[in-house]
Structure 1
Amino acid sequence: MSPTESATEPTAPAPPAAAGPPPRSAAGVLSDSRDLVVPALREAVEGLPPAMRRIGGYHFGWCDGDGAPVAGGGGKALRPALVLLAAEAVGGGARPALPPAAAVELVHNFSLLHDDVMDGDTTRRHRPTAWTVFGAGPAVLAGDALLTLAFEEVSRGGSLVGAHRAAEAGRVLAAAVQDLIGGQSADLSFERREDVDLDECLSMAHGKTGALMACCTALGALWAGAGPARVGAMRDFGANLGLSFQIADDLLGIWGDPEVTGKPVHSDLRSRKKTLPVVAAVASGTPAGDELHALMAGHERLSGAEAEHAAGLVEAAGGRAWATERADALLENALEALRTAVPPGRHREELASLARLAAHRDG
């Protein structure tokens, strides 16, 4: 057969492009995120002075109070998972986004160490809180150390994405920390007031939780090189998700199963916290809401019986139903922003699955 004849013969059709991997479940996403992020967190914490290293390791669940290693521990790593997924969703990679992913988890745990001291909480993740083991002052200092590490992680990550992008990421993270501190300050001020309204409480929740979630999704997209419009849509996704997450957390603080949450039943009511279901119930204008308002006044911790009665009043006044409906509406807002930012496919499905888990979790 001549070369000319060969060239005119039909060629076999090209095989179809191989399909990409199927979307992971939310649990699979979180597991993969932990596998990537925990070694980076351990390396960062290992660089702390010995006293801070021990408290940090205990808080993360890596060791006991004496510093001896223990199995398991740590949280779900939702926030770093959002960073990694957001980076992938705009065309980047998960591993290059490890510095900001580790940074947001360090910021989150800085806030938890401080929150436990300020709220007087004695249990977290089914074990005594760090301040009850090491003292309030050392626990606060350990939180400060984690916050410092967060910005070091972002700065070191500049070698991957360039100094300019790392500096912008640092500014985004710093703004989120300021919002978080503002939200926590408002939360503390509510304890001394009896006239907290629902808009104030929503604003507090956005600062305390929504701002860092918005930072996670924006930071992942920014780190991977997305443009301003896409970063903004991802920020909206995270902000709405964060507020939905906080409402779910407030519901768990009243009705969560202690075996799952690691906290005593009715823990938020016992400490008279003005969470969103409580404030919505008080604002209902119902007899149950008025009785709840009177019961939640004062500063002494409620007894178990009083807290149980308060939970019944929140439900009777419609606070539980309002919170559930609002969390669902915010989740839908988040998913709409996600549809704007990310085309159909695996990454969008994984982010949506993670969002639904966060808004409807049981612990």
Structure 2
Amino acid sequence: MVKSAPSILERARQIVEPEIETAVNELCPELLFPVRYHFGWQEIDGTPSSVRSGKGLRPALAILSAEAVGEPATTGALGAAAVELIHNFSLIHDDIIDGDTERRHRTTVWKAFGVNDAVISGDALHTLAFQILLLDPSPERVTASSRLAKATTLMLAGQAADMSFNDQPIVTFEDCVAMEAGKTGALLGCAASIGAVLSGAQKNQIDALDQYGQKLGIAFQAIDDILGIWGDSEITGKPAGNDLRERKKSMPVAFTLSSNTIEAEELKDIYNKQTDLNDAEIKRAKVLIEKSGGKERTQEEAQNQLSSALKALEGAEFEDKPLEELQEITVFVHERDH
């Protein structure tokens, strides 16, 4: 079942990317260059590029949510573009906050063009998202814009909570899950329902799709946290053990640090070191987290959230084919390696 998921993502990309590019091309030249680079449409020197800009999960959810309530994929395309613009605004700013110099095997926008240009480029994408939705202020588009604004606010609150974890010696596993419900779950919930909103669907359909997306988002992040420690750098595009090197308090780490075990004490000592962590310390931290059950608990959380996502889809009637594709996406999220 998972093998068909990439084709779903590609179908969505072909429908939605032209909407995004049309919106982006309205930007002034000073912003257009770094934004087009970020989306993988051109290189730093301005030459054309065909690099893929991410997995395309959110656009796929948006068009499937329109199809799930009996409307064509194109009904959800504008909403998909708006959500993707918000998502990419957050990525550009996240890279600045985290000091990340590489994303998707390419230099990040701030590293390539400077912090100032990156900040304003992210701001521009945020504004564009609402601009394209409200060009035609129909009731459905106004509702979609309102829901996207709320999801964005929750996403930013989640980001703020994540940043605050740096100053807290102990963060619980439950704290991480709650944080990710905002940081990742809120926007995925919006993506998974915005097509239905633009279609004028029934409230129970919209609510079910939103809940599905929220749960999928938490599962997505749980798996991301696993890949951030144990992922293959050749596939993820990030250094092995990158989250540990940056001392992130992700789900596996939080579980261990709050476990009141010998492993917790040793991991605290590693995280409290004043110097950069070396490869041996990264390797030891991985062992401690696995031994304490942090990896296993995070895998379990991902599975529980995916089960809840599928359960949410039972809350309303949907078209068979898009419903099946939404179910396939949960398998894809569970089995992804980057």
Q: TM-score range by the shorter chain?
A: over 0.9
Aligned pair 1:302/2:277, yes or no?
yes
Other structure's SS at 1:25 match: helix
Does the 8 Å contact 1:241/1:359 carry over to 2?
no
Aligned residue number for residue 129 of structure 2: 150
| Aligned counterpart for 1:214 among listed residues 189, 192, 195 | 189
Deviation at 1:127, TM superposition (A): 1.0
| Aligned counterpart for 1:87 among listed residues 59, 66, 70 | 66
TM-score by length of 2: 0.96
| Aligned counterpart for 1:136 among listed residues 115, 127, 130 | 115
Deviation at 1:284, TM superposition (A): 2.1
Alpha carbons of 1:291 and 1:244: their partners in 2 closer, same or farther (altered >3 Å)? same
Aligned residue number for residue 231 of structure 1: 206
| Aligned counterpart for 2:328 among listed residues 353, 357, 360 | 353
Alpha carbons of 1:91 and 1:64: their partners in 2 closer, same or farther (altered >3 Å)? same
Give the alignment's Cα RMSD to 1 decimal: 1.7
Does the 8 Å contact 1:194/1:297 carry over to 2?
no
Deviation at 1:128, TM superposition (A): 1.1
Aligned residue number for residue 101 of structure 2: 122
Aligned pair 1:263/2:214, yes or no?
no
Does the 8 Å contact 1:155/1:167 carry over to 2?
yes
Paired amino acid for 2:230: W
Paired amino acid for 1:120: G
Aligned residue number for residue 182 of structure 1: 157
Aligned pair 1:278/2:263, yes or no?
no
Aligned pair 1:362/2:337, yes or no?
yes
Structure possessing the higher relative contact order (Cα contacts under 8 Å, 6 or more residues apart): 2
Aligned residue number for residue 85 of structure 2: 106
Alpha carbons of 1:349 and 1:300: their partners in 2 closer, same or farther (altered >3 Å)? farther
Paired amino acid for 1:29: I
Distance 2:275 2:324 in 1: 46
Deviation at 1:72, TM superposition (A): 2.8
Aligned residue number for residue 17 of structure 2: 38
Distance 1:219 1:341 in 2: 16
Aligned residue number for residue 16 of structure 1: none
**Percent identical residues:** 43
Distance 1:190 1:316 in 2: 23
Deviation at 1:310, TM superposition (A): 1.1
Paired amino acid for 1:206: A
- Say which one has the larger Rg: 1
| Aligned counterpart for 1:72 among listed residues 51, 57, 66 | 51
Deviation at 1:71, TM superposition (A): 2.2
Distance 1:34 1:87 in 2: 15
Alpha carbons of 1:299 and 1:212: their partners in 2 closer, same or farther (altered >3 Å)? farther
Aligned residues: 338
Distance 2:59 2:275 in 1: 37
Distance 1:343 1:219 in 2: 15
Distance 1:257 1:305 in 2: 17
TM-score by length of 1: 0.89
Deviation at 1:302, TM superposition (A): 2.2
Does the 8 Å contact 2:82/2:133 carry over to 1?
yes
Please, which runs of 5 or more residues in structure 2 have no aligned partner?
none
Distance 2:114 2:200 in 1: 43
1:25-64 pair list within 5 angstroms: 25-64=4-43
Please, which runs of 5 or more residues in structure 1 have no aligned partner?
1-22
Q: Cα deviations across residues 247-301 of structure 1 (Å, max 9, x unaligned)?
A: 0111111111111111111111100000011101222222112211222235654
Does the 8 Å contact 1:197/1:283 carry over to 2?
yes
Distance 2:254 2:50 in 1: 40
Distance 1:95 1:343 in 2: 17
187-196 or 264-273: which moved more?
187-196
Distance 2:230 2:64 in 1: 31
Does the 8 Å contact 1:114/1:143 carry over to 2?
yes
